Structure 1
């Protein structure tokens, strides 16, 4: 029996902890926050499951992952169909025939493609040198100006002309009247929220859990007392930023209870202009088809922010500089922390969707226990 310490009670840590415990190992899970489930944490307010750290829609084409999460919750048939608000004009996302009809009055896919090609021609044969040029080369000037530019600049905190082209490698263009944002075979929201999933994952006789515990308060002691550590925090922080500081983006959430039955008519509305300071408003009751109090609704405004030490890091900035530094940290970890496994978005410095986090955790389990 191996003694494991899992640092972080998000999806990666909880999946690994459960699978290790099932195999007879002793697992302790510590979590810095006062609750389980990491960024997928949901809390009931006014009978509504509120996504405390931004909208989380589970989607995957991996049948095994879909089956795996269904051990812990029943999922509804929610389909992600966000809309964009550009100075009061409403457009469907992803870019599809409904979007093109609203923009240009076109009706057929052939007409839509002709309009996009006409607008892309503004670049001529120039190779895109920044995000703005890359976006125009993919979807033309109108869609870029109304639906990409403002949102992207708020998301990254920089002008589009200052952002590298690779950030937008592709943009979805659908020549159908289909507002389903994802292409995955399976998607939905767990009925009763996400927190229950992690709670059930960790409900095992071989697992003990402590919240409100900071790993760094007793780092040296933990490393001595446990055979293996599964660390899902920032890899650069683990090593006290010895090789440099990786970059992250942070988020600020402003949640409000309103005396209304229905505030915006959709779960997610993106604000794509440059004046509105937030990127989107989430109305949580629409994730579960209007459950909750009839005369109440809960909305959350989401503000991207620069990250500084001490802030909550939400996603990595995967440019060449940071990716190269992460690879150096990975080599450094192999030499100097052989009993530590780094996982999740922050430990592996990678933007993961929820299903990808579970896949990564299960792959780590396979490597650890099946060699």
Structure 2
């Protein structure tokens, strides 16, 4: 009879997927060890406190969902506030409301009714003769017409992804909300907000009672770590897990510059998008507005998109034809594993909103533990 190992599960990665899975495993009476290469738990939802403000260290994270079960689950660890995401966009000296709505259309064209807005867009796309959009540019033109595309989408998108819009898949832009009402709420979801006191409270609640080791790179001593547990939960890069057998998957990365200002309000909004391609950053984030802060100082982050290399953090999978085909090869390998559970945006090579990661981890845990 094989010797009982020290842990039931080794969880590689302490982000939302790993933390939720570890919590559900603990409820099921299983013993987990969670390891993470970073010096903190929480993955990209980690908050760093600066000047008494919870700074989203890896970019803005707004929790939103229509699923009351998911909303109640995260609120069982920390109470979420009622923050609603309503970004502002800057193009030159002009300000626009996001998502695209009647306020945006009025700011652009001075029109006041949905019929006028729809007519304006139809006039702009009538001559384009696009029947089946082959790329992001064609899809965006069909959605919003030429003027909004050229002014409010093209520059931002191309610096975000580092390639022409004609080389990006059409589905990326389909997530963009467009509405013909005076509604600046970016998300349609019924439930949305920010944890009161920051996301660290959520991660701490999920990992309470579970052993966590930080500053640990799984790949440096892979065999030793695997020997500690019966099964592995892996939320890192799937191509790295298989030693890049078929080649390297591509991502876009981000770089963040945080700055403290000796004033109580810098830009008047949590999220401001910078649309000009000549401006090197895509967004400025003023973190105190996420929690309606009244601190005397404020912290603003500039978000710079950049090409990804293995020593940088991988943020956005580039789900074009080449990378999608490559991922399918790795996915096929993963289905042959009997003691490895893959989950999260890096292991599944897809863009996930936070509620989707929580739902995915809960579903996998429920299947395994029947909890």
TM-score range, shorter chain: over 0.9
CA distance in 2, matches of 1:276, 1:52: 21
Matched, 1:341 2:341: yes
Determine which of 99, 106, 111 is the counterpart of 1:106. 111
Aligned to 1:150: 155
Aligned to 1:236: 239
Structure 1 stretches lacking a partner, 5+ long: none
Aligned to 2:41: 36
Pairing of 1:1-371 with structure 2 (within 5 A): 3-125=8-130, 127-169=132-174, 171-204=176-209, 207-292=210-295, 294=296, 296-335=297-336, 337-370=337-370
TM-score of the superposition, structure 1-length normalised? 0.95
Aligned residue for 2:227, secondary structure, equals helix
CA contact (8 A) 1:95 1:173 kept: yes
CA contact (8 A) 1:138 1:170 kept: no
Aligned residue for 1:122, secondary structure, equals coil
Query: What's the CA shift for 1:238?
Result: 0.7
Query: What's the CA shift for 1:163?
Result: 2.5
Query: What's the CA shift for 1:362?
Result: 0.5
CA distance in 1, matches of 2:216, 2:285: 30
Query: What's the CA shift for 1:3?
Result: 1.3
Query: What's the CA shift for 1:83?
Result: 0.7
CA contact (8 A) 1:267 1:284 kept: yes
CA contact (8 A) 1:138 1:171 kept: no
Query: What's the CA shift for 1:136?
Result: 1.0
Q: Compared with structure 1, are the counterparts of its residues 165 and 81 closer, same or farther at alpha carbon in structure 2 (3 Å cutoff)? A: same
Aligned residue for 1:302, secondary structure, equals strand
Aligned residue for 1:227, secondary structure, equals strand
CA distance in 2, matches of 1:122, 1:281: 36
Query: What's the CA shift for 1:290?
Result: 2.6
CA distance in 2, matches of 1:195, 1:42: 6
Query: What's the CA shift for 1:127?
Result: 4.1
Aligned residue for 1:123, secondary structure, equals coil
CA contact (8 A) 2:130 2:142 kept: no
Aligned residue for 2:239, secondary structure, equals helix
Q: Compared with structure 1, are the counterparts of its residues 171 and 58 closer, same or farther at alpha carbon in structure 2 (3 Å cutoff)? A: closer
Query: What's the CA shift for 1:170?
Result: 5.7
CA distance in 1, matches of 2:204, 2:90: 37
Query: What's the CA shift for 1:197?
Result: 0.7
Structure 2 stretches lacking a partner, 5+ long: none
TM-score of the superposition, structure 2-length normalised? 0.95
CA distance in 2, matches of 1:347, 1:18: 19
Runs of 4+ displaced beyond 4 Å: none
Aligned residue for 2:54, secondary structure, equals strand
